[in-house]
Structure formats: C-alpha cells, structure tokens
Structure 1
C-alpha cells in the first residue's frame, strides 16, 4: 500500500486561491456579521458565492458536468481546510454542510432527471437543501435504526408522516432529503427509504428554529414536521428500503469534509495564539518564551498536524473506492476533539482577549464544540471503532 502526501498541483493552485479569497473577502464579511448567519441573510450568501465564482474557487467538490471543479477527496482536503479558515468560507465556496453532502449523495444515487431537478440548481448555488433524518427522542439520532418517521404507499406515490428536529439549513431550503421508514419497525437495521421533498409541499412544515450554541450554519437548525406529506414515486431517491445504505454514501465523506473545514478553524485559532504569544509580554518576557505557553502552542501544533495526517489517510481510502468506515470514524473522533483542544488552548493563551469580542476566538469556540456531536458523537464512533477492531481480531484468531 502506497500513500503519497504530495498535493496535486491543480488542487494546490485552487487552495492558494482559496486562502487569498478567504482573507480578502470571507473574513471581512464574517467580522461584519460576527459569524452569526443562522438567520440566513440571502444577500450575503449570493454576494459571497458571486465573489467565489469570480475567484475561480466555487464548488470545488462537484463534477465539472454540474459546474464544479471536480476535486477528489484528497484535493478537497487541502481546499476545504483553506475555506474553513473563515466561518463563511465554506458557504462562499458552496461546500458547506448540509448542501455539500447532499450534492455528493445526489451525484452518486440520483436518476438523471433528479440530478437536473435537484443537483444542478444546488451545485450552482441557486437553491439550498437539508437532510432530514434526526428525530426527537426516542427517534433516530446517533442510532439511525430508531427511525420513526414512516412513508406509506398511496396511489401513485407515498405519504410521509413524522417529526424531525435539528435539521440543519432547513429554513429557506428549496428541498429536503427525508429519511422515512417504508418497512419494518423502529430498531430494525433496514427498511428506510430516502425521499426528495420540495419545501413548498403543504405536508412539510418548519415548526421552529432551535436556539443553539453555534451560530455559523446558514439557515440554522430547525424542527420540521411531515404530516400527510404526499410525494410521487419519482420522489424516491435510489431504491425503496435501501436508505440506510445510501446514508453511508453520504455520511463517510461528509464526516471528512466536516474535519477539513474545522481543521481550518483550528489553524486560524493557532495563528491568533501564536501572534499573541509573540507580541504580548508578561513577567518581563514575551509569552512565547514562557515554558507553559510554549507547551500549549506545541501541543496545538501536534494536534493540527496529526489531524491532517489521519484525515488524509481516510480521504485516500475513500478515493481508492474503499468503504474506509474505520478510518473515517477514527478521523472524525480525533479531529473533532483535537480542534476543540486547539481552540481552547488559543483562548487560554490570549487570556481576557480570548473570551472578548475583540478577537474571533469566542465565536470560533462556540462553533467547534458541537462538532463532537455532529455526524455521530465521539462515543458512538468509539463504540464502532472498538467493535470493528474486535471483529478483525477474532477473524485473525480464527485463521490461525
């Protein structure tokens, strides 16, 4: 097995353009709105995405057929990290969650007609989307098999009934990819189906926008009700009862793109800490010469470099067409926790400045904490990692 850490030259060029774009355009816009875009100011999104197109960095993850730059996962890793240096960078490049993951899912699973209707406007930034799987307890959450929303056969289509919550980007989205149970019962490993539901369907309603710790997800997080929501057979995404399998098509890469974007946040926090340590003096010496501060800075450098290494390994496996389930779980767990550590250390190095509004660290701190929950909490991934490792150990023992 050969893994190269050489960056593809085309991806490197796009990454350099992205870094410049983020500093010139995204960061000033982020400062102007304090990173709070839950309300979804559409003029801001349009302005950012128009600027990204002009800078030739728009939609780096989408195939050229759909107007994107067509980077593979390893290429995305270096570009998304640069985009994530600002909380508004991914939105500008149209590679923010949940749209980015939905684009990938549609490219892989959708029919040609569905791609024209849903993928093309999404990739062009003409529409937004959401992925409606998570439900209030006792429904689907970290255990998707608890899925309680149902889809029942009717003449010419399906009727969807259920309640979803924490649906990111739902407010203002043009359509939802809704996961509903078409067979079996809550707790069963199969029986889920994905449906494409347009936001103007009278059976789909946003009940409320949830007040959350983070504020940097465009459109926020909503509670959504599907009640007598009728859709045609053409709304089925993929095959009936194969929804859980299709979810893995989306979730593995989406976990890695989360890691890419948040790694950019960690780098920004570390840069702020390094600048502060070099400029600020205490006890007659620059902070950067104090051993305890040096340890904080060094540990953050280690966390950033290690995060990038495990992320690139998982991306390489995905590019090879492997399932990469173990390495994506390892990367998601490690990077989400490492990013939190880096931002926390930066706040500590900066002291009172770190928790004030005079530096961006307080808003970065708000944003990164939920990452340890999104796309599977660390505890769920650890359970899965251990389960796979034990299975491999048993298989090896049986072969002796």
Structure 2
C-alpha cells in the first residue's frame, strides 16, 4: 500500500470527528440501533480506505508499520468506538494468530477477523489467582483420544458473549521444568459444549458489560486446535499483549487530546469571579501540564513503536509507556473534569465516561506496579531504554 501518512491522518480525523463521535450516544445505548450504526460505520471506513490500516496488507489490511499506525491510532482513539468503526479492535488477536496459527486456523479465524466479520476473545484471567502472574493459572487441558479436555474458571474474558471463538490459556504440562512452559493456548469455537458464560460483569467504563465470567466443564476440542507449540502459551500471550500495550497507549493519546481540547474550550468560554477561566493561573497550569504530559507520552509511545518495528523487542519501552501513559490519561481527564465543574461529572460531556475507562487503564494488560518493576529491574541490571533509541 502506497500512502501519504499526513493524508491518512487528515482523513481519519475527519471520519472520527464527523462520523464516529456524533454516533457515540447511539452506540453506547446498545441494541439494534447500535449494531446497525457500527455496521454502517464499518462500511464507510472500508469505502474510504480507512479500514484495518495496521493489519498486514496480504490479509486485506493497510500494512502500516507500527510507528505509522501509532500516528493514526492516536486519532482513532479520540472516540471509544473508533477501533470498532475502522477495524483495529482485533489487532492484538490478529498478530497472535498471524504469528502462531496454522494455515487452517488462519483461514477459519484470522481472515474473517481482519475483514470485520467476526470478533475474538481471550480467556486468561482467573478469579482465584492474581492476573498479573499468568504462570499461576489453574485451568487445565489434558490430551485424550486426540482431543483437549478443558476444565477451569475464567473471568474478564472481554467480548466473549459476541465472539466467534475464545482462545483459552490452560495448563497442559504441569510438570514442565519452567513455569513458563506449563501453559498452552487452545482455540475453542463458540457453542462448544461445556463452555458456559456464567454472567456478564458490569464494570466502571463498560456500562453495556462486555467482560464475561466463564466456566469450562469437560470442554472437548480437537488436538489441532492448539495455537502454536504445546507449552508455548506464555510466550504466545506475550506476543499478543506486547504490541497490544502500545495500541492502548496510542489510543489513550487520542482520548487525552480530546479531553484537552474540551478543557481549552471550557476555559475560554466560561467566566468565574469576573473573568474567563482562561485568565486564572491555576487553569493555565492545568493546560500546560496536560500538554507536556501528552507530548511526553506521545514520544514514549512512538519510541516503543519504533523499537518494536525494528526487531519486535521493546519490553522496557513498552512497560515505560504503559504505566506513564495510563497515569497521563487519568491526569488529563481529571483536570478537564475539574475545569468543567459540575458539568464535568454529568453525562452532558464525554468526560465522565472517559474518566471511568481511564481508571482501569492502570490495571488491564498488566498493572502499573508490574510495569514499574520491569523498568526498575532493567535499570538495576544495567539496561537503559535510551541507549537503544535510534532515529527513524
């Protein structure tokens, strides 16, 4: 695909601001109108050449390297529903299947996913053990008569109620020499007997509820449904969440930038104590600090994307942007709410919803504490991320 990145950014900005953002209330309300609206937006994105820009070109995507896609995804992230509208919501799972799937798995699941015809889900987190340590999962899968028999309890399986398949991470080799070799990833199609959605967990930031608690009771799937090598589940999961953390950081930039724009507009148009808010020193500090944090996070994100494009190894850079970006997102939206006063906590602006989403950005795909630990451990062992930074 030959492209002009600035043209793509401009067209994406117009699509998100003029088409997706005006449709947010309809989508958030759910129901048939929401489904029809999303379908219409997907068709428009495809017609305008904005569909799946970060997916491989050979699969019908745009083929953008991660660095360039970061510049686009910042704009997509301006709306919580931007990813659905332009087909980037499945990128983590597409990368996982593209790297580790068999030809049959790729035909059955990967191509329809890139086309936007189906959605995936991943079952890793369990209520009985800490989600930040996937080596401790309790779900098991044993090989019997050419089939995997899966038993276990999962929760926060995002999107499972509407997914065509769930990739289940389960212990297949309990006696492996390393805890990182105990786990395998197994694809379980929708409707497989024994796979039960116990409930949809409503969380702050997801009013419609798309995080599922699931039980697997003697779930039986063919042996060839294992994804990649047996015992390689931990590495496969890291191959999924590594770039996924960069995707989150890209999207957060769009959310923060939108919050800053709302803050600026409010400061210029609202008067208090005889003058516009924009004249108050404290409000100006909010604006300046927000701009500085957004730009710092943007540069960290682009550096992580550049490193990933080079060789796929950007662990320290990804951890830096994961915890810094999540904190930045919270800070900027929090200031925007403060500048809006009571209006900011109402549903008359998107800020209240954005704030709820921002809070658990500090938890999913690894809590802040774990990512700070990764960075500190690297520093103590003599590694520094800036030593590897190179010009594009």
**TM-score interval, normalised by the smaller of the two chains:** over 0.9
- Does residue 15 of structure 2 align to residue 25 of structure 1? no
2:87 paired residue number: 94
> Structure 2 residue aligned with 1:84, among 63, 77, 81?
77
CA contact (8 A) 1:130 1:169 kept: yes
2:6 maps to 1:12: yes
Output the CA distance in 2 between the equivalents of 1:112 and 1:12.
Answer: 36
- Contact 1:333/1:381 (CA < 8 Å) preserved in 2? yes
Let me know the Cα RMSD of the aligned residues: 2.1
Q: Distance in 2 between matches of 1:360 and 1:284?
A: 28
Pairs within 5 Å for 1:197-236: 197-215=188-206, 220-236=210-226
2:46 aligns with one of 53, 58, 72? 53
Cα deviation, 1:331-360, whole Å, max 9, x if unaligned, reads 101001101000000001111111112211
Separation (CA, whole Å) in 2 of partners of 1:213 and 1:303: 24
Cα contact 1:270–1:343 (8 A) shared by 2: yes
Q: Distance in 1 between matches of 2:151 and 2:4?
A: 46
Q: How does 1:342-353 map to 2 (within 5 A)?
A: 342-353=332-343
List alignment gaps of at least 5 residues for structure 2.
Answer: 385-392
**1:325 corresponds to:** 315
Cα offset, 1:32, TM superposition: 3.0
Instruction: Report Cα offsets for 1:299-350 as digits up to 9, x if no partner.
Output: 1001110010000010000000141111100010100110100000000111
Q: Give yes or no for contact 2:290–2:332 (8 Å, CA) kept in 1.
A: yes
Residue 398 of structure 1: aligned partner: none
Contact 1:38 1:215 in 2 (8 A): no
1:150 aligns with 2:140: yes
**Aligned residue number for residue 5 of structure 1:** none
SS in 2 for 1:211: strand
Distance 2:383 2:43 in 1: 52
Native 8 Å contact 1:168 1:221 kept in 2: yes
Distance 1:383 1:257 in 2: 21
Deviation at 1:36, TM superposition (A): 5.2
Instruction: Using the TM superposition, give the Cα deviation of residue 392 of structure 1 relative to its aligned residue in structure 2, in angstroms.
Output: 2.4
Choose which of 251, 254, 257 in structure 2 pairs with 1:261.
251
Query: How far has the Cα of 1:40 moved from its partner?
Result: 11
CA distances 1:129-167 after superposition (whole Å, capped 9, x unpaired): 1011111122x5111111111110111121111111011
Give, in angstroms, the shift of residue 248 of structure 1.
1.3
Structure 2-normalised TM-score? 0.93
> Does the 8 Å contact 1:204/1:225 carry over to 2?
yes
Instruction: Report the equivalent of 1:42.
Output: 35
Q: Does 1:278 align with 2:271?
A: no
Other-structure match for 1:161: 151
* Mapped contact 1:38–1:219 kept (Cα < 8 A): no
Distance 1:38 1:231 in 2: 32
Residues 101 and 227, structure 2, Cα contact 8 Å, conserved in 1: yes
Q: Which runs of 5+ in 1 are unaligned?
A: 1-7, 395-400
Q: Does 1:389 align with 2:383?
A: no
Distance 1:163 1:384, change over 3 A: same
Q: Which 4+ residue blocks in structure 1 deviate beyond 3 angstroms?
A: 35-42
Cα drift, residue 243 of structure 1: 0.8
Q: Secondary structure at the match of 1:26?
A: helix
- C-alpha distance in structure 1 between counterparts of 2:134 and 2:88, whole Å: 25
Shift of 1:13: 2.1
- Corresponding position of 2:186: 195
Shift of 1:39: 10
| Distance across 2 between alignment mates of 1:201 and 1:155 | 17
How many angstroms apart in 1 are the aligned matches of 2:30 and 2:322?
A: 25
Partner Cα distance (1:285, 1:272) in 2: 19
| Alpha-carbon distance in 1 for matches of 2:375, 2:51 | 35
With 261-270 and 11-20 compared, the bigger mean Cα shift is at 11-20
> Would the aligned equivalents of 2:26 and 2:34 in 1 still touch at CA under 8 Å?
no
**2: CA distance between counterparts of 1:39 and 1:192?**
39
- TM-score, with length taken from structure 1: 0.91
